[in-house]
């Protein structure tokens, strides 16, 4: 069977692919793979464009300029666009595109209200991104790219984040929920 049209690959194969992709990113762009800095930059550039007076009083811009990391449309912003396209291509090739608006496990716990799922998705997405920017990385930037560089900050981040996420999931769904995955 053509691997491109398969619905899934072994996690070891996909994981090894991501490992090799990180060699490529380091060798060609001199950058670790990450996702959330792009969101920060996109938002900062938006503030500069739509609310220039507000941006003027925000010392974010001066601080990041001084650090040599000014907000710009860069490699990582394009990477995020690419992630969307790559998943679109992969799922279109395999036809793996039929998913319920409210995931089954969520429905078991909270009912099938779309409003509830969407409002909590919005809030939790915001909280997750806010945390990622405080820590300067996410599952990609810290969890994969940072830990593979043996960075102490990244090992600390991913251990604490996954421990808290595990506690949260058990608090939400409990033992009974685990039977409904």
**Interface with another protein includes 5 (CB under 8 A)?**
no
**Interface with another protein includes 125 (CB under 8 A)?**
yes
65, 69, 111, 120: which one binds another protein (CB under 8 A): 120
Left if phi > 0, otherwise alpha if psi is -120 to 50, otherwise beta: which for 150?
left
Give per-residue burial for 43-74: e unless 16+ CB within 10 Å, then b.
ebbeebeeeeeebeeeeebeebeeeeeebeee
Give the shortest CB-173-to-another protein separation in angstroms: 6
**Interface with another protein includes 110 (CB under 8 A)?**
no
CA distances from 71 to 25, 60, 83, 131, 137 (A): 20, 10, 20, 19, 16
66, 69, 78, 113: which one binds another protein (CB under 8 A): 78
Positive or negative, the CA dihedral 15, 20, 23, 27 is negative
**Interface with another protein includes 69 (CB under 8 A)?**
no
The tokens for 21 are 């992709």
What residues from 49 to 68 belong to the interface with another protein (CB under 8 A)?
Answer: 54, 58-60, 63
Binding mask of the shown chain, residues 131 to 160, with x at each position contacting another protein by CB under 8 A: xxxxxxxxxxxxxxxxxxxxxxxxxxxx-x
Give the shortest CB-52-to-another protein separation in angstroms: 14
**Interface with another protein includes 107 (CB under 8 A)?**
no
């Amino acid at each position: 069977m053509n691997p491109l049209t398969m619905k899934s690959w072994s996690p070891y194969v996909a994981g090894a692919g991501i490992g090799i992709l990180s060699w490529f990113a380091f060798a060609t762009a001199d950058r670790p793979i990450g996702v959330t800095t792009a969101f920060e930059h996109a938002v900062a550039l938006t503030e500069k464009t739509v609310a220039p007076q507000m941006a003027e009083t925000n010392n974010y811009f001066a601080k990041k300029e001084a650090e040599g990391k000014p907000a710009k449309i860069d490699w990582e912003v394009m990477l995020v666009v690419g992630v969307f396209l790559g998943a679109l291509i992969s799922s279109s090739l395999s036809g793996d595109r039929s998913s319920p608006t409210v995931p089954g496990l969520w429905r078991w716990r909270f009912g099938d209200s779309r409003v509830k799922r969407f409002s909590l998705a919005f809030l939790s997405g915001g909280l997750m991104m806010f945390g990622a920017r405080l820590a300067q990385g996410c599952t990609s930037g810290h969890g994969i790219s940072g830990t593979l560089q043996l960075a102490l900050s990244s090992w600390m981040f991913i251990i604490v984040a996954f421990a808290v996420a595990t506690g949260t999931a058990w608090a939400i769904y409990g033992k009974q929920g685990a039977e409904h995955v």
